[in-house]
Amino acid sequence: MNRKSGFVALLGRPNVGKSTLLNRIVRAKIAIVTRKPQTTRDRIAGILTETRGQIVFLDSPGIHKPTRALNSHMVRTACRIGEEADIVAHVIDDRPVGKGPEDAMVRGILEKIPVPRILVVNKVDRIGRAAADEVRKSLSRDDFYAASFLVSATKGDGVEAFVTALFARLPEGPAFYPEEDLTDLPMRFIAKEVIREKLFEGLAEEIPYSIAVRIDEYKEEPEKNLIRIRAEILVERDSQKGIVIGKGGAFLKKVGMASRLELEKETGSRVYLELFVVVERDWSRSESMLRHLGYEPG
Ligand SMILES: Nc1nc2c(ncn2[C@@H]2O[C@H](COP(=O)(O)OP(=O)(O)OP(=O)(O)O)[C@@H](O)[C@H]2O)c(=O)[nH]1
Ligand SMILES: [Mg+2]
């Protein structure tokens, strides 16, 4: 059997479980996952290499109505990822898919992408198989989707059937990446994301959306089995700085500890992590600050 290869984009509204699905498929934590919508801000590639071939899964920011420059960047990124793909998987969850503004946007974007679309109804563990199948059927009446699947990204149900269908549809071709690679992202990027995840999970209301993380130093000292990381946490207002630091520095310490433990596990190395909180007024509305933070405008 000749090997297949190709790119599969995971697109959809925020919080439907795209990143969880990516991690499940490649059996590693590549993308950060939180309970909050709009967690993913970049193109995150997860690479699956098997005897059947290689699929590069592209996780994307959830598609939503942009309010700030950061959000416009996120939506443009998602659109670009769709254009890069050989197959687009539209991921939905238990929230009704109707004529809401986000659904209309997703539909508009999917309509423009000239590759097969596959519907993935995620979170079947929560919805129940019968209800999820109703949703699947109601959205599969016309031939907008080439196929549809019910999955649980957290439990793994249905994921293998979905991957098998993708291999069946992809063309024969060489692998794009070495077979041991799980992502094309550098560890420096992953470090930034891990810190952002711990901040997102611990902060309430709108503060996560005012947070960015910048890695100022990432230095490997292999002879000491040590990685030194110095990172700045950007917030938009003084009041947010106090909250991120916490009483007596407690919250920042907690974030630092959780991030360090995870990064040590990921790298197999000791990690020395220093975190600083900096106020950068309205960074999420500034194109130049976005560029500076690596959120390249599309
Ligand atoms: N019950 C259940 N929860 C899930 C499943 N998949 C994802 N979740 C949860 O849904 C929430 C959002 O998951 P993410 O993977 O971050 O969603 P996303 O689509 O990447 O979100 P954005 O990056 O914000 O667009 C998290 O709390 C996940 O644990 C699933 O199959 N079942
Ligand atoms: Mg995500």
One domain, residues 164 and 192: no
**H helices present in 51-158, as ranges:** 69-84, 101-112, 124-127, 129-139
Model confidence at 297: pLDDT above 60? no
Query: What is the pLDDT averaged over residues 196-220?
Result: 95
In this predicted structure, what is the pLDDT of residue 298?
A: 54
The secondary element (H helix, E strand) that includes residue 272 is strand 270-279
Asked whether residue 258 is domain-assigned, the answer is yes
The better pLDDT of the pair 204, 12 is held by 12
Instruction: Take atom 11 of ligand 1 and give the residue whose Cα is closest.
Output: 35
In this predicted structure, what is the pLDDT of residue 287?
A: 94
One domain, residues 148 and 211: no
One domain, residues 155 and 192: no
Q: Which of 142, 169, 196 is the last residue of a domain?
A: 169
Domain count, the chain: 2
Asked whether residue 180 is domain-assigned, the answer is no
Asked whether residue 261 is domain-assigned, the answer is yes
Asked whether residue 197 is domain-assigned, the answer is yes
Select from 10, 19, 20, 196 the residue to mutate for testing ligand 1; criterion: most ligand atoms less than 8 Å from CB: 20
Q: Return the ligand 1 atom nearest residue 61 CA.
A: 25
Q: Which of 143, 169, 195 is the last residue of a domain?
A: 169
CATH code, domain carrying 286:
3.30.300.20
- Sequence length of the chain is 298
CA distance 109 to 52: 30
In this predicted structure, what is the pLDDT of residue 100?
A: 77
One domain, residues 288 and 155: no
Q: Return the ligand 1 atom nearest residue 13 CA.
A: 25
One domain, residues 68 and 215: no
CATH code, domain carrying 88:
3.40.50.300
One domain, residues 94 and 215: no
In this predicted structure, what is the pLDDT of residue 102?
A: 87
Measure 40 CA to ligand 2 centroid, in angstroms: 4
Which range in 91-95, 141-145, 232-236 is most confidently predicted, on average pLDDT? Answer: 232-236
CA distance 75 to 209: 15
What range does the domain containing 26 cover?
4-169
One domain, residues 123 and 254: no
In 3D, which of 166, 159, 182 has the Cα closest to residue 45?
182
Asked whether residue 175 is domain-assigned, the answer is no
265 vs 168, 232, 291, CA distance in Å? Answer: 35, 22, 30
One domain, residues 125 and 49: yes
Radius of gyration of the chain (CA): 20
One domain, residues 152 and 204: no
Query: What is the pLDDT averaged over residues 122-142?
Result: 94
In this predicted structure, what is the pLDDT of residue 87?
A: 98
One domain, residues 92 and 236: no
> Is the minimum distance from the CB of 141 to ligand 1 under 6 angstroms?
no
Model confidence at 153: pLDDT above 60? yes
One domain, residues 134 and 211: no
In 3D, which of 286, 296, 295 has the Cα closest to residue 214?
295
Asked whether residue 158 is domain-assigned, the answer is yes
Measure 33 CA to ligand 1 centroid, in angstroms: 7
Model confidence at 8: pLDDT above 70? yes
Q: For the chain, give the percent of residues with pLDDT over 70.
A: 99
Q: Closest ligand to 159 CA? A: 1
Residue 227: DSSP 8-state: E
Select from 81, 154, 200, 201 the residue to mutate for testing ligand 1; criterion: most ligand atoms less than 8 Å from CB: 154
Q: Return the ligand 1 atom nearest residue 32 CA.
A: 16
One domain, residues 128 and 200: no
Measure 268 CA to ligand 2 centroid, in angstroms: 25
Nearby residues of 255 by Cβ (< 8 Å), 6 or more positions away: 195, 198, 199, 202, 275
Measure 33 CA to ligand 2 centroid, in angstroms: 6
CA distance 53 to 187: 25
Asked whether residue 174 is domain-assigned, the answer is no
Query: What is the pLDDT averaged over residues 48-60?
Result: 98
Asked whether residue 179 is domain-assigned, the answer is no
Query: What is the pLDDT averaged over residues 255-276?
Result: 97
Q: For the chain, give the percent of residues with pLDDT over 90.
A: 93
In this predicted structure, what is the pLDDT of residue 266?
A: 93
Q: Which of 169, 196, 212 is the last residue of a domain?
A: 169
